[in-house]
Amino acid sequence: MSRLSPRHPAQVIVLGFAAAILVGTALLLLPTSKAGPGSATVLEALFTATSAVCVTGLIVVDTPVYWTGGGQVVILGLIQVGGFGIMSFASLLGVLLARRMGLRSRISAAAETKSVGFGDVRKVLLGVLRITLVVESVTALVLAARFSLGYRHGFWQALWLGVFHAVSAFNNAGFALFSDSLIGYATDPWICLPVCAAVIIGGLGFPVLFELRRHFHYPARWHMTTKLVLSGTAVLLLIGTVFITAVEWSNPETLGALRPDERILAGFFQSTMTRTAGFNSVDFAQLNPVTLLAMDVLMFIGGGPAGTAGGLKITTFGVLFFILYTEISGGTAVNVFGKRLPRSVHRQAISIVLLAVGLVITATMILMLITDFGLDRVLFEVVSAFATVGLSTGITAGIPPAGQVVLILVMFAGRLGPVTLASALALRSRPLYYEYPKERPLIG
């Protein structure tokens, strides 16, 4: 085997995502993809393709105005493929067309979907497909009916709007076919709540959805991952809703102009969107800096693993929380829901956090050096890119080309995960044949 060929499953996944981005860039560079004369610039096409494949939602051009219907279809396809997973999608095509999978496909798909073993990969992929089709179809029908009956859109236009926003919501992408995202529908629960439901379901992660389908009435059988994701999602949604609504309650530029019930709806909507879906129903440029900082934290934590959400993942945050709790309480072993965590999980969680923090800080400092935007806006943009959220205070298009390249790299790293990237770059593992003697440094 050639030394240049990928060996580790993580390498295959990274190369697969890179290839999908390049294909998407090429398609968006076609003159038929751009509205008006000429074609998009390479940076515009690359940024949009990366944002779509990495299901982020940050944009440097106005999606409904700049891209033609064909370009929007390309973006939708990239969102669907990126949210499903590049290797998972390729393996699924192999299952559907050839009814079989090669060993490399099984290994890569298992790594991407976090399958327990190679034998159940085919079943997992078909399960992911069923869940995706059901959630997206139901959401699309509800949205299409509302666009048609409530806003007098024609049948095909309403259906297209419903399908696009349903796919974008379930995949936690945040791309919208309205120039102001969903600000025009901030007070409409028939638009906001279905979008929120799709975002939350997609953000739970497919392993959690599978277990809920099998053992919904038997919580005692739930895996630790399911318990962490469900409890963490509920707590973060509640905290985010209360905090955002309270801080922005009297802000006339955001929630202050709405009725009390509409303020709660908008607060819940924006709390949900920090689960890594970049729709907004208020003008983020007018948010209180404290709200932006709180959203930074919520976006950084992210959603569930092995799904369409980004961020550190709730499970990683949960593991760190219980490690901290154990240290403060004087415990010797980290126990979560009656089970003990292996020390390898401790190291993995700490490694992910340190790599993520390092990436966010580095990117933030670079952007602050080459732009005139303040820390709160730049940090919000970088965290949004890393956590593949797509929320923005409106500065993305105003960032110079070098800064947009930085955001492209941050989106790519955030979608694949710092650990995946690090392991993809390691061409071979180095076995340890000896250990050094232990010594304890002073801490604190």
Q: Return the closest-CA partner of residue 308 out of 414, 235, 237.
A: 414
CB burial class (10 A; 0-12, 13-18, 19+) of residue 379? buried
User: What pLDDT is attached to residue 436?
Assistant: 84
User: What pLDDT is attached to residue 429?
Assistant: 54
Q: Average pLDDT in the 58-64 region? A: 96
> Taking 60 as the threshold, does the pLDDT of residue 202 lie above it?
yes
pLDDT of 117-151, one tens digit each? 444 667 777 788 888 999 999 999 999 999 999 99
* N-term to C-term CA, the chain: 49
Query: How far, in Å, are 112, 345, 391, 403 from residue 116 at the CA level?
Result: 11, 16, 33, 39
* CA dist., res. 386 & res. 367, Å (int): 14
> Taking 70 as the threshold, does the pLDDT of residue 7 lie above it?
no
Angle 156-161-163 (CA atoms, 0-180°, nearest 5)? Answer: 90
> Residue 147: which residues within 8 A CB-CB, separation 6 or more?
153, 157, 158, 161, 162
Q: Are 418 and 355 in contact (CB under 8 A)?
A: yes
User: What pLDDT is attached to residue 103?
Assistant: 46
> Residue 121: which residues within 8 A CB-CB, separation 6 or more?
91, 101, 106, 109, 110, 113, 115
> Residue 271: which residues within 8 A CB-CB, separation 6 or more?
236, 237, 240, 241, 243, 244, 298
Quick one: how far is CA 67 from the chain centroid?
23
pLDDT of 310-366, one tens digit each? 898 999 999 999 999 999 998 888 999 888 988 888 888 888 899 999 999 999 999
Q: Average pLDDT in the 439-444 region? A: 79
Q: Average pLDDT in the 357-378 region? A: 96
Q: Are 90 and 101 in contact (CB under 8 A)?
A: no
User: What pLDDT is attached to residue 179?
Assistant: 95
